[in-house]
Amino acid sequence: MERSDLVSTLKGIGEQREKRLHRLNIFTVEQLLTHYPRDYKDRSQIMKINELIPNETATFLGQVRGEGQNGGRGRMVFTRLKVYDETGSVTVLWFNQPYMKSSLKIGERYLFTGKVQQKGRQLEVVSPECERIGENFAGGRIIPVYPSVEGLSQKTLRGLVEQALRETADTLPEELPLWLRKGYRIAERNFAIENIHFPKTEQGFYDARRRLVFEELFLLQAALFRLKQTLEDSGEGIRLKRKKAIWEKAAILPFALTNAQKTVLKEIEKDMTSGKVMNRLVQGDVGSGKTAVALAAAFWTIQNGYQAAIMAPTEVLARQHYETFTELFAPVGIETVLLTGSLTAKEKREALAKAASGAAMMVVGTHAVIQAGVEFAKLGLAVTDEQHRFGVRQRSLLSDKGENVHTLVMTATPIPRTLALILYGDLDISIIDELPPGRQKIDTLAVNSSYRKRIYAFIRKHKVEGRQTYVICPMIEESEKLEAQAVLQHTGELQRELEGCRVECVHGKMKVKEKQAVMEAFAAGEIDVLVSTTVIEVGINVPNATIMLIENAERFGLAQLHQLRGRVGRGSEKSYCILVSDSKTKVAKERLNMMVKSEDGFEISEMDLKLRGPGEFFGLRQHGLPELKIANLSRDMPILKEAQTAVAELMERDRALTAEEHQPLKHQIEGYLEGKNLEM
């Protein structure tokens, strides 16, 4: 079996299972092997049945000596079975799994793991995980726990990974050259893949993880180095005229620019008059005025006879940008068109024709602007908003719509500067570190659910005063269906609790037009309370919203909480962010206290890096950073620095990667730059 084979070539994968794997972005055998565990369970300690202790989770061996019994009534069906070892017996019990009666065979031994409960004088284990034990059983083991989706069990995923490991044993290619592995003490790849899934020893796990983290960060750094090299060698950029200076054109804006905005615009002007292609990242806290900078840069570009385009990650944000640009550009004779997936065929044809002819000098859209068939008459500036939502390849596809197009990338996710230099190595960095005058300070409170009645009274009071509220529920990554149910259920509860308030919701299962209609109704003041997952995190601007209530706040990253908080405080009224959490952990309390104490996004992101990760095997993706499969940037900075040193050494040895030993590495880096592996 080849690593590039489709995952459907493995045994036991039917159409439904294949679809579920696709939802995890697993299409090939290699993608299955690099679907790394998020946690592990220690099943190496096997207890005897007479050692089992009530209210504790245990792993034990048991033999089936008789048939199980199914019972119950209505929707509640149970399967009860007694299993034995040389020290005694215990009852195992499953609910609504009648097939367990026939799946456990008399005479066979099984390894059971579950919580032990006292039932009268007897012990029983409810809903244990179990696996059949063969003759060569050598003892328990550490087993992996994977990120999954609804309908795809851990047992199934483990079985598929084990099968893939058997089929590809010792055949995975080694991309890292021998000199590099020796010099940086890096384990061999086949060893690393096997031991990250099923570690044989504790040291084996650490060696495997170090190898895979190093490889991921090394390839990221090497790809960014090559990308910057390519951009620098791409020839002369469009040279805009200094006499049409960018800050003069900022006069189109209906407000004064801050000093920080002026500084960034001067950096943009320097780039776009230098003769080189601009590739600049603008970082700015929520509400710092990044869109104003993009507007001024676009207007200057258009005054020089070139088109400008801006790509946003959601239709909501794209429409908001379209309205803003139209409002400011229409009075001076500049036409703006919108390109999104929900346009009618006629609307799309008209927008495409205007972009291609140059009738529309400003184009605003979602990723629809980079699709085949979208042409520009003379594109000069490509702006990507909320850059972390797009891959490097997607970003370059927009700039590829013209010749040597200037690129401006914007993000409201504050990232410590040192980290930003590492992550966005292909871009020059500007920071807007000043908020516009008059921006309201947002009071942030962290409370537990015992305050709920008072919170609801507070929301009703603000409704009477004509103000609006956001309520945010955590995302449920495993299932959009479950997420939608949770949002709908919470909306129903709020409709009962908040009598007299118009409460509506948006969630991931809704169609784009349905979401848009609810958002527009909220913006128009026709809805008092909007319940949502983080779908509103970027995009919607409702100055009349003064309360941001975030449920289960401990489940969000600090940067994400900070962005959500930035949805309020946009008008002249006092605004509040209420973080509700019943978590008792020290880290959760520290993180929420940080939100109460600080409004500085960069300070918050520094704290997030320090606090996230301890005690975790691997960190989940930090919102706003590249989607790394295994590296955790809060704990793996030493490995990241080693990887950077190794990239510098590689470039000294063989900058063009022409040596035979570097060909696998070159192929892998090119894969990153084609967007196969690098999502940033």
Residues 566-604 pLDDT 10s: 888 888 889 999 999 999 888 888 889 999 998 888 788
- Domains of the chain from N-terminus onward: 45-140 (2.40.50.140), 234-432 (3.40.50.300), 442-611 (3.40.50.300)
104-138 tens-digit pLDDT: 999 999 999 999 999 888 899 999 988 888 766 65
Cβ-count burial 381-415 (b if 16+ within 10 Å, e if not):
bbbbbbbbbbbbbbbbbbbebbebbbbbbbbbbbb
Report, as an integer, the average pLDDT of 44-72: 90
Q: Degrees (nearest 5) of the Cα angle 523, 525, 529?
A: 90
Structure token digits, residue 468: 């609006």
CA distance 292 to 538: 16
- Predicted confidence (pLDDT) per residue in 658-676, tens digit: 999 999 999 888 876 665 4
- Give the relative orientation of helices 637-654 and 202-232 as an angle to the nearest 10 degrees: 50
Average pLDDT of the segment spanning 513-518: 85
Pair 150, 186: CB distance under 8 Å: no
pLDDT number for residue 141? 80
239 has pLDDT over 80: yes
How does DSSP classify residue 639? H
- 39 versus 548: the higher-pLDDT residue is 548
Residue 674 three-state SS: coil
- What is the reported pLDDT for 616? 27
pLDDT of residue 614: 25
CA distance 382 to 265: 15
Question: Is-contact 268 347, C-beta < 8 A?
Answer: no
pLDDT for position 7? 92
The pair of structure tokens assigned to 623 is: 């919102």
In this structure, are residues 470 and 536 in contact, taking their beta carbons and an 8 Å threshold?
A: yes
CA-nearest of 389, 397, 454, 425 to 625 is 389
Q: How confident is the model at residue 295 (pLDDT cuts 50, 70, 90)?
A: very high
What's the mean pLDDT in 374-379?
93
Whole-number pLDDT of residue 191: 95
Distances, alpha carbon 106 to alpha carbons 129, 266, 475, in Å:
18, 79, 43
Dihedral angle over CA of 292, 523, 539, 335, nearest 10: -50
* Strand order through the sheet with 575-580: 442-447, 575-580, 545-550, 468-472, 529-532, 503-506
Average pLDDT in the chain: 85
Can you spell out the DSSP letters for 261-279?
HHHHHHHHHHHHTTTSPPE
CA torsion 615-617-621-625 (nearest 10°) is 80
Res. 677 pLDDT band, cuts 50 70 90: very low
**Cα separation, 679 vs 624, whole angstroms:** 11
Q: What is the 3-state secondary structure (H, E, C) of 149-208?
A: CCCCCHHHHHHHHHHHHHHCCCCCCCCCCHHHHHHCCCCCHHHHHHHHHCCCCHHHHHHH
Q: Say how far apart CA 24 and CA 255 lie, in whole Å.
A: 46
3-state secondary structure of 297: helix
Q: What is the pLDDT of residue 373?
A: 87
Average pLDDT of span 457-484: 84
Confidence bin at 615 (pLDDT 50/70/90): very low
Region 398-427: mean pLDDT is 75
Give the count of alpha carbons within 13 A of 163, CB side only.
Answer: 15
Type of residue at 120: G
Identity of the highest mean pLDDT range in 224-228, 461-465, 621-625:
461-465
Confidence (pLDDT) at 620: 29
pLDDT, mean of residues 372-380? 92
Q: What is the mean pLDDT of residues 542-571?
A: 88
Check pLDDT > 70 for residue 69: yes
Q: Work out the number of other CB atoms within 10 angstroms of the CB of residue 417.
A: 13
* Per-residue confidence (pLDDT) for residue 486, from 0 to 100: 84
List, for residues 4-39, the tens digit of each pLDDT value.
789 999 998 999 999 999 999 899 999 999 999 988
Residue with more model confidence, 60 or 404: 60
Query: Would you say residue 294 has pLDDT above 90?
Result: yes
523 vs 468: CA distance, rounded Å: 9
Which of the two residues, 183 and 69, has the higher pLDDT score?
183
Q: Provide the pLDDT for residue 257.
A: 86
Give percent above pLDDT 70 in the chain: 86
Q: Where is mean pLDDT largest: 222-236, 323-337, 432-446?
A: 323-337
Q: What pTM did the predictor assign?
A: 0.60
Residue showing tokens 């012990």: 123
Secondary structure letter of residue 307 according to DSSP: E
pLDDT-based confidence at residue 622 (cuts at 50, 70, 90): very low
State the average pLDDT over residues 159-179: 91
Of the two residues 418 and 276, the one the predictor is more confident about is 276
Q: How far is CA 162 from CA 61, 141, 199, 248, in A?
A: 21, 14, 12, 64
> Is residue 56 very low, low, confident or very high in pLDDT (cuts 50, 70, 90)?
very high
| More confident position, 166 or 226 | 166
- pLDDT of 44 reads 81
Question: pLDDT digits over 254-284, tens only?
Answer: 778 889 999 999 999 999 998 888 889 898 8
Average pLDDT on 130-150 reads 80
Mean pLDDT calculated for residue range 167-172: 86
- Across the range 38-57, mean pLDDT stands at 89
Q: Choose the weakest-confidence range: 184-198, 429-443, 535-549, 622-636.
A: 622-636
